[in-house]
């Protein structure tokens, strides 16, 4: 299958050979993995990087004078620079390694506790993941600040005029996801950032769901904070990054105390290390950081434009096929979305559909997708969510659609 882009060499069958897991069987059927929005699969190149690390140069970083420690430190810092270049951050110390998106958001939320006072306001969107709601509620409890919510419309897009009405000089921080994990909606983040900056508010974008599909340029966006998880973009679990503008990272106090984040320690006073180490207390996920760098190399080698064009083809194909099933309703129909389809059939419980198609080797997600407010908006307990990656195929979509039809016939 060829894709009409400038990188016409994209061949999905060749790509699939890089992913050993894609050739396994589940319940006797070839695996069809459509749960990419929860976590992506890992190519051999990244697996090899992990094996190589533990086979050849596993050591603690930044402290040792010995060879292994220096090799591990070099590889880890090279990965930081790869990540910096990928997101076009101005400085490598603006890239902070974290254990993932959730950790990165909590780091920022905890830091803002010392910058906010009663009467200040934080704006979040109605489309958020729970990891994006709870830390702000905790921050509001601590500081007396108030949480405001940008409402969404039926098609799953944010109401921008209502966002503008919420903005005032009381707004200190605006938080939205770049792409919604529940519906796939791509939010108009450039406009959100511009409007928020006009009232002097900082903007934190959750890029967890965008980063596998869209190469964000943090300088071009002029975003203050951007957070991602490696495991949603072909990397391992347990590692991610916080990008922060240097001036903001300097304003925030350290998140955790420990080794690595200090300059000097006495019982009277501790001084903190410079960026990025100020926010990297303790031994990090060294291998994970290096493997994240390898995952970015892998995806950049294919090219994000190629990936996005191919995934849009899959999205359009699957949307068309699913719409042929009577009684099937798709949630999230904004014109700008990534390759995620959330749907229900009549009043069949999504869990039942998920269970039946798992028996046929198909992995999808069912439930509220950590976005209960979005489900409440539609008045449903949850959806079936199929999310595609660049290693999926139209043939897999055909298998999936047939399986959904079969489940529907069994359940209705
Ligand atoms: C997955 C996801 C998160 C949480 O990421 P973790 O890796 O579990 O920390 C946050 N926001 C969005 C939009 C996500 O898709």
Please provide the DSSP assignment of 275-296 as one string: TTGGG--S---HHHHHHHHHHH
Question: What value does the mean pLDDT take over residues 119-124?
Answer: 97
DSSP state of 186: B
| CA nearest neighbour of 229 among 203, 209, 201, 259 | 209
Q: Rg for the chain (alpha carbons), in Å?
A: 22
**Which CATH number fits the domain that encloses residue 374?**
3.90.1150.10
pLDDT score recorded for residue 133 = 86
Whether residue 34 is found in the same domain as residue 17 = yes
Distance 180 CA to ligand 1 centre (A): 10
Backbone phi, then psi, for 66, in 5-degree steps? -80, 165
Atom of ligand 1 nearest to the CA of 180: 13
Distance in angstroms (rounded) separating the CA atoms of residues 70 and 328: 57
Q: Which of 129, 207, 241, 295 to mutate to test the pocket of ligand 1 (most atoms within 8 A of CB)?
A: 129
pLDDT score recorded for residue 268 = 84
Distance in angstroms (rounded) separating the CA atoms of residues 238 and 284: 10
Whether residue 108 is found in the same domain as residue 185 = yes
Whether residue 133 is found in the same domain as residue 213 = yes
pLDDT score recorded for residue 62 = 86
Determine which residue's CA is closest to atom 2 belonging to ligand 1. Answer: 208
Structure tokens at 112: 């803002």
Whether residue 234 is found in the same domain as residue 201 = yes
Distance 9 CA to ligand 1 centre (A): 32
Question: What value does the mean pLDDT take over residues 121-140?
Answer: 90
Distance 223 CA to ligand 1 centre (A): 19
| CA nearest neighbour of 287 among 60, 66, 64 | 60
pLDDT score recorded for residue 10 = 84
Domain end point (choices 300, 333, 356): 300
Answer yes or no: 287 catalytic.
Answer: no
Question: What value does the mean pLDDT take over residues 61-67?
Answer: 88
Distance 129 CA to ligand 1 centre (A): 7
306 lines ligand 1 (CB under 6 A): no
Query: Of the given ranges (179-188, 248-257, 260-269, 385-394), which has the lowest mean pLDDT?
Result: 260-269
374 lines ligand 1 (CB under 6 A): no
Q: How far is CA 325 from CA 98, 195, 341, in A?
A: 43, 42, 14
Question: What value does the mean pLDDT take over residues 323-342?
Answer: 95
Q: How confident is the model at residue 244 (pLDDT cuts 50, 70, 90)?
A: very high
| Cα dihedral 354, 356, 360, 364 in deg (nearest 10) | 0
Whether residue 160 is found in the same domain as residue 25 = no
Output the pTM of the full model.
Answer: 0.95
Domain hosting 68: range is: 47-300
Question: What value does the mean pLDDT take over residues 257-285?
Answer: 87
94 lines ligand 1 (CB under 6 A): no
Residues above pLDDT 70, as percent of the chain: 98
206 lines ligand 1 (CB under 6 A): yes
pLDDT digits (tens, 9 = 90+) for 106-115: 999 999 999 9
344 lines ligand 1 (CB under 6 A): no
Q: How confident is the model at residue 1 (pLDDT cuts 50, 70, 90)?
A: very low
**Residue 131 in contact with residue 177, Cβ under 8 Å?**
no
Q: At what angle do helices 44-52 and 286-302 cross, to 10 degrees?
A: 150
pLDDT score recorded for residue 2 = 44
Domain end point (choices 284, 300, 316): 300
Q: Which of 124, 212, 370 to mutate to test the pocket of ligand 1 (most atoms within 8 A of CB)?
A: 370
Whether residue 292 is found in the same domain as residue 308 = no
Whether residue 28 is found in the same domain as residue 93 = no
207 lines ligand 1 (CB under 6 A): no
Whether residue 87 is found in the same domain as residue 124 = yes
pLDDT score recorded for residue 9 = 66
Atom of ligand 1 nearest to the CA of 101: 9
Domain end point (choices 265, 300, 335): 300
Distance in angstroms (rounded) separating the CA atoms of residues 10 and 206: 29
Distance in angstroms (rounded) separating the CA atoms of residues 11 and 137: 46
Whether residue 292 is found in the same domain as residue 324 = no
Is residue 13 predicted with pLDDT exceeding 60? yes
Whether residue 324 is found in the same domain as residue 267 = no
Whether residue 290 is found in the same domain as residue 308 = no
Average pLDDT, the chain: 94
Question: What value does the mean pLDDT take over residues 33-44?
Answer: 98
pLDDT digits (tens, 9 = 90+) for 363-391: 999 998 888 889 999 999 999 999 999 99
Three-state SS at 274: coil
| CA nearest neighbour of 26 among 401, 351, 352, 358 | 358
DSSP state of 238: S
pLDDT score recorded for residue 130 = 80
**Which CATH number fits the domain that encloses residue 238?**
3.40.640.10
Is residue 6 predicted with pLDDT exceeding 60? no
Helices (H) and strands (E) counted in the chain, each on its own, are 14, 17
Structure tokens at 187: 């939010």
Residue 131's contacts (CB-CB under 8 Å, 6 or more residues apart) are 101, 102, 105, 370
Q: What does DSSP say about strands 121-125 and 146-150: parallel, antiparallel, or unpaired?
A: parallel
Vertex 162: Cα angle to 160 and 163 (nearest 5): 60
pLDDT digits (tens, 9 = 90+) for 209-235: 999 999 999 999 999 999 999 999 999
Count of domains forming the chain: 2
Backbone phi, then psi, for 174, in 5-degree steps? -120, 135
Distance in angstroms (rounded) separating the CA atoms of residues 369 and 116: 30
Q: Locate tokens 């409402």: which residue? A: 151
125 lines ligand 1 (CB under 6 A): no
pLDDT score recorded for residue 271 = 83
Whether residue 83 is found in the same domain as residue 134 = yes
């Amino acid at each position: 299958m060829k894709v009409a882009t400038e990188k016409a060499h994209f061949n999905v069958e060749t790509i699939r050979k890089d992913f050993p897991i894609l050739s396994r069987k589940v319940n006797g059927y070839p695996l069809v993995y459509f749960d990419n929005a929860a976590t992506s699969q890992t190519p051999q190149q990244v697996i090899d990087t992990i094996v190589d690390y533990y086979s050849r140069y596993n050591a603690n970083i930044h402290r040792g004078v010995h060879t292994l420690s220096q090799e591990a430190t070099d590889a880890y810092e090279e990965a930081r620079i790869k990540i910096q270049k990928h997101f076009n951050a101005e400085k490598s110390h603006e890239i902070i390694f974290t254990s993932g998106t959730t950790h990165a958001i909590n780091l920022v939320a905890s830091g803002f506790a010392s910058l906010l006072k009663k009467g200040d306001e934080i704006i979040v969107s109605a489309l958020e993941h729970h990891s994006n709601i709870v830390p702000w509620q905790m921050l509001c409890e601590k500081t007396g600040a108030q949480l405001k919510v940008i409402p969404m419309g039926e098609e799953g897009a944010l109401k921008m005029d209502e966002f503008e009405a919420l903005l005032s000089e009381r707004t200190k921080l605006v938080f939205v996801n770049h792409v919604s994990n529940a519906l796939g909606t791509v939010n108009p983040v450039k406009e959100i950032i511009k409007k928020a900056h006009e009232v002097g508010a900082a903007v934190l974008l959750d890029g967890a769901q965008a980063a596998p599909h869209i190469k964000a340029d943090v300088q071009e966006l002029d975003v203050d904070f951007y957070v991602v998880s490696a495991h949603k973009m072909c990397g391992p679990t347990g590692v991610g990054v916080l990008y922060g503008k240097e001036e903001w990272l300097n304003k925030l106090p350290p998140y955790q105390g420990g080794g690595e984040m200090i300059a000097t320690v006495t019982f009277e006073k501790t001084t903190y290390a410079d960026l990025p180490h100020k926010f990297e207390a303790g031994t990090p996920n060294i291998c994970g950081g290096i493997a994240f760098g390898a995952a970015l190399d892998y995806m950049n080698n294919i090219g994000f434009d190629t990936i996005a064009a191919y995934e849009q083809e899959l999205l359009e194909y699957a949307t068309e096929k699913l719409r042929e099933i009577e009684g099937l309703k798709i949630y999230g129909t904004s014109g700008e979305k990534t390759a995620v389809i959330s749907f229900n059939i009549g009043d069949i419980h999504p869990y039942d559909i998920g269970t039946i198609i798992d028996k046929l080797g198909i992995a999808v997600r069912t439930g509220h997708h950590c976005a209960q407010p979005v489900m409440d908006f539609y008045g449903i307990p949850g959806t079936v969510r199929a999310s595609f990656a660049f290693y999926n195929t139209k043939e897999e979509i055909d298998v999936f659609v047939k399986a959904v039809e079969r489940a529907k016939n069994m359940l209705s």
